[in-house]
Amino acid sequence: NQREQLRDPTAHAEMLAITQAAESLGSWRLIDCTLYCTLEPCPMCAGAIVQARLPTVIYGATDPKAGACHTLYEITDDSRLNHRATVLGGVMQAECQAILREFFAQQRALGKK
């Protein structure tokens, strides 16, 4: 993600990827795309997944603090919304957890939370 660099709380990797894909494809409907994430999307990102009509999301590590696809919420499978995504979690979970540990260790070393 680029929250710190951009000083933008919405600059999560999923949001940036969705924006870039929509610009590249010339459409906000990403109906033929799959989103791959290291960490389970948060509520904001899960909402963007629904809005972008992404059919498939694959993530590695669950997020016990903000997971919005399986852990805390199931926004991407909420029948009250106009779109649902198929979500597969736990893919390469150990590897993704290692990537996240390293990322957050670097952030702490830089004095960022």
Question: Mind telling me the catalytic residues?
Answer: 14
- Neighbour tally for 100: CB within 10 Å: 15
CA distances (Å), origin 62, targets 32, 50, 66, 93, 113:
25, 19, 9, 8, 19
CA distances (Å), origin 84, targets 8, 54, 110:
27, 8, 38
CB 70 within 8 A of CB 40: yes
